[in-house]
Structure 1
């Protein structure tokens, strides 16, 4: 679990606006758990790449999955990479153009991914993904076949070299600008759930987690 008092490594130390850094595991885990996607930056013979992919957390690791033939998954076990997650919470409109900002929660994770070995461990990791998408879903759907499981790789990266950065609150204007006759404040963003859309061929009744989708 990351130390809450200091950056766990030089490359995770926040230098720009260091006062916004947060090295506490609780903050880091909350940012990851609120995300369905992450962006992974890596380098290979073709140059630098940054690829979005589904992610989930189980304990002190972040997990991803994909095809055995994926260039991304192969490269991630060969060299260190960087994982980024960001949630935009608001546009901060200040009295001066220079002091405009954004409210956000972000996380950066460094290290090398490792392959989840063993059929049972891989199945448990994928079940955790299903539980993140919709608790109880795993017990209702057709489980992955032997062929499907064999064609899928699950990777994980430890969260012991990571940092969060969080900005919240009002504009931070210079004292000389406070009297300017300009509206200042925050234009908030929020993730919103909309009504479920049933597939045309769906014959089963909507389970509770579908019916309650918009109420959560």
Structure 2
């Protein structure tokens, strides 16, 4: 948790570019957790590779988990469901959410319990990528999931590219919130209850790679995949 707080403090240096605030991204509830620095948005997006895509299809809201990759100004993600919606309504808005759970905040009262988290929500109208941008977007997505894998594995064929839908969403409209730290009920009447309070950190760990059962003998584990452990 200290690493999160430290990174958060470093990202709030004077002169850092800010995210433009819109009516949709304005922080209203728990404003103290809101962040407006572009560096905070970049850090949240760089820390993962799974997002949830919110889109309306046939009049029904859907939230779909999918993989993503981010550059400085664009979020690339698989989105066949959203692509279908865009074909029916070209100006269809989506909301893409990335969330990392960093711990449980356990207070002396249930009401004061919380979650330590980092979250970004990106709004806008995505576009369907084609040609060189589509290939570059797939590279960005692949490298975010497993750095080094794009150059190691066979690249997509024309048939595979045609069967793949990759959407691009501008990062111009986004909202970021970060919650960390201990419970804040230590100075209230519940402090006299004599109950334990604190944090239970949670982190994602990549275990040792498991080879495919049909892997031919003699094929060694590539260094870039071995480096994913931890």
TM over 0.5: yes
Q: Structure 1 unaligned runs (5+)?
A: none
Structure-2 residue corresponding to 1:211: 226
Superposed displacement of residue 46, structure 1: 4.1
Alignment of 1:14-53 (within 5 A): 14-53=27-66
Structure-2 residue corresponding to 1:93: 106
- Give 1:73's match in structure 2, choosing from 52, 69, 83: 83
In structure 2, C-alpha distance between the alignment counterparts of 1:64 and 1:109, rounded to whole Å: 12
Aligned pair count reads: 209
- Give 1:157's match in structure 2, choosing from 166, 169, 188: 169
1:109 aligns with 2:117: no
**What's the CA shift string for 1:11-60, capped at 9, x where partnerless?**
00111111110011111111111121111111132411111111110221
Higher helix share: 2
Match of 2:133, SS?
helix
Task: Return closer, same or farther for 1:97/1:71 CA change in 2, 3 Å cut-off.
Answer: closer
Superposed displacement of residue 153, structure 1: 2.4
Task: State the superposition RMSD in angstroms.
Answer: 1.8
Q: Is the 8 A contact 1:8 1:160 kept in 2?
A: no
Superposed displacement of residue 7, structure 1: 5.3
1:139 aligns with 2:154: no
Q: Is the 8 A contact 1:7 1:13 kept in 2?
A: no
Q: Structure 2 unaligned runs (5+)?
A: 1-15
Match of 1:183, SS?
coil
Structure-2 residue corresponding to 1:172: 184
Structure-1 residue corresponding to 2:8: none
Match of 1:56, SS?
strand
Superposed displacement of residue 160, structure 1: 0.9
TM-score (norm 1): 0.90
Match of 1:12, SS?
coil
In structure 2, C-alpha distance between the alignment counterparts of 1:135 and 1:92, rounded to whole Å: 32
Q: Which moved more, 1:21-30 or 1:206-215?
A: 206-215
Structure-2 residue corresponding to 1:11: 24
